[in-house]
Amino acid sequence: MALDSNYLQLEVQGRIQQMADKMLEQDPLLPVHLGAIHSTLIQHEELVHLLSDDDITKLVAAQIKHSGVQLVKEAVTRKTGPKSVPRGQSIADDL
């Protein structure tokens, strides 16, 4: 089982590296790599814990590029938003 797990970990990491190398291009195999990684990680959940933070960052970046969905949007500051009121005080709009 350990040999199998090591092989699968290397396979997943190799695919992640291939995706990272092709991220600047429009690689038509990006969905294939993402699908293979997904199915491998579903079947062997222990591999998720063996991936480095760098591998996970590359994987998430590839998924964002492929799907066009952002997990977290950038913070937007509003200059015309309501003014903060000290705790315990109310404003006319609250009444």
* pLDDT means over runs of 10, the chain (95 residues): 75 82 72 87 86 86 78 62 61 58
Which pLDDT value is given to residue 91?
Answer: 62
Report the length, in residues, of the chain. Answer: 95
0.75 exceeded by pTM: no
pLDDT value for 81: 54
Let me know: does 47 contact 12? Beta carbons within 8 Å: yes
**What is the per-residue pLDDT for 16?**
82
Question: Which pLDDT belongs to residue 64?
Answer: 83
